[in-house]
Amino acid sequence: MRLTVFGTGYLGATHAACMAELGHDVVGVDVDPGKVAKLSDGVTPFFEPGLEPVLRRNLDAGRLRFTTSYPEAAAHADVHFLGVGTPQKKGEYAADLKYVHAVVDSLAPLLERPSVIIGKSTVPVGTARDLGVRARAAASVDVEVAWNPEFLREGFAVKDTLRPDRLVLGVDGARERADWVAEQVREIYAELLAAEIPFLLTDLATAELVKVSANAFLATKISFINAVSEVCEATGADVTVLADALGYDARIGRRFLNAGLGFGGGCLPKDIRAFMARSGELGADHAVAFLREVDNINMRRRTKVVDMAARAVGGSLLGANVAVLGAAFKPESDDVRDSPALNVAGMIQLHGAVVTVYDPKAVDNSRRVFPTLNYATSVAEACDRADVVLVLTEWDEFTALGPEDLNPVVRTRSIIDGRNCLERARWRRGGWVYAGLGTP
């Protein structure tokens, strides 16, 4: 099939490349000429394992190209995916839909044949219905709006697109062409359906709520174990063993029960806040009031690590030399949006410390956000004469470290494990002062 994908950020570029990998003729569209030029050369403007080979293979095969031209995109296909960002509004919890509106307002008047716009972005419930009204008011032909939420994990985005856990499609059942929309999507994902990926056909509101509900649940699970870790710290209990014990319960499971610095990135924090904002607009804010505490618990972990760093250097960070290993919000990503690691590094610097950060992939992005921090090109350089070392992103390079690796370079043998990812007994045997979150 001939498809377009509007937006070539993390979601859009991945979706465009993977739709071409499924054999479709795909045009990716973006208003940023720099992004379009990079992608056209087979270079992703962000780090995502496995994506560049898929991108280059399909560019070479002629199944994929990128453009800034909306008229070209409108003429290319009748099925248009919407993958632009929905960031948090400045000074508010609500999602900013200006990029979504811009695509629909620009695309709809250019359509010359009956078409469908399929949303991938995470949006407040009710957005798809409103976009349908908006698109049909601007178009001279019949336009349908459907919603097909993404469930991508950074670091696993290609796998999650080509072999997802499930496919969800929301359609407006009151529209005469609702069945046609579903048929188009089934044809797009024919290979996935043949592989028996579950396909759920829903109304628009349910499809919108599935993604934000999934993120809210995961955020709640992470904050739950971090709340328990606070109790563990007060009692001397071990949250890692406790989580293992909980994980054997099939009703609970072990995934996302890792206590530590908490969640960040471009999805979970802003999505749960937008969920709270939209629920308030609908008069159902009481139903998700618990998410405010979920958010509070998560943010409290960051200040906890700053306090731990201060204690590790004698009570005051003023003049201390602090090494921070990790800047991305998670491993296998260069994403520093709302990164707990980078946030902690910045707060420690504001307390007067000299902070040196090293991350295998996220240094360039970090420098753009926090240019005043020092940045290193290796673990050894970051830890040179450090008074305390903080491990804040669980990259394999860091979890493989042992005391013997850092003994020659640090000034004080003190390490804070912000992700509970190190073998603490090994570090203590090596003569280090080890501190984790929720662990004795």
Looking at the annotation, which residues are catalytic?
A: 267
> Cα separation of 338 and 222, whole Å?
16
Phi, psi of 294 (to 5 degrees): -55, -45
Q: Are 291 and 323 in contact (CB under 8 A)?
A: no
Q: Are 409 and 380 in contact (CB under 8 A)?
A: yes
Decide: helix, strand or coil at residue 362: coil
What are the structure tokens assigned to 255, written together?
């995934």
- Positive or negative: CA dihedral 241, 246, 250, 255: negative
> Cα separation of 288 and 60, whole Å?
48
Task: Please calculate the CA angle 200-151-133 and round it to the nearest 5 degrees.
Answer: 65
**How buried is 197 (Cβ within 10 angstroms: 0-12 exposed, 13-18 middle, 19+ buried)?**
middle
Please report the DSSP string for 71-102 in residue order.
HHHHHH-SEEEE----PBPTTSSSB--HHHHH
Burial 51-75 (b: 16+ CB within 10 A, else e): beebbbebbeeebbbbbeebeebbe
Nearest one of 396, 227, 386, 236 to 304, comparing CA atoms: 227
Cβ neighbors of 160 (< 8 A, separation 6 or more) are 150, 151, 152, 153
In the sheet with 414-417, reading across from the earlier edge strand, the strands are 374-375, 354-358, 321-325, 388-391, 414-417, 433-436
Q: Are 351 and 310 in contact (CB under 8 A)?
A: yes
Beta bridge partners of 399: none
Q: Distance between alpha carbon 298 and the CA centroid of its chain, in Å?
A: 15
> Cα separation of 427 and 379, whole Å?
16
Nearest one of 148, 211, 151, 205 to 182, comparing CA atoms: 148
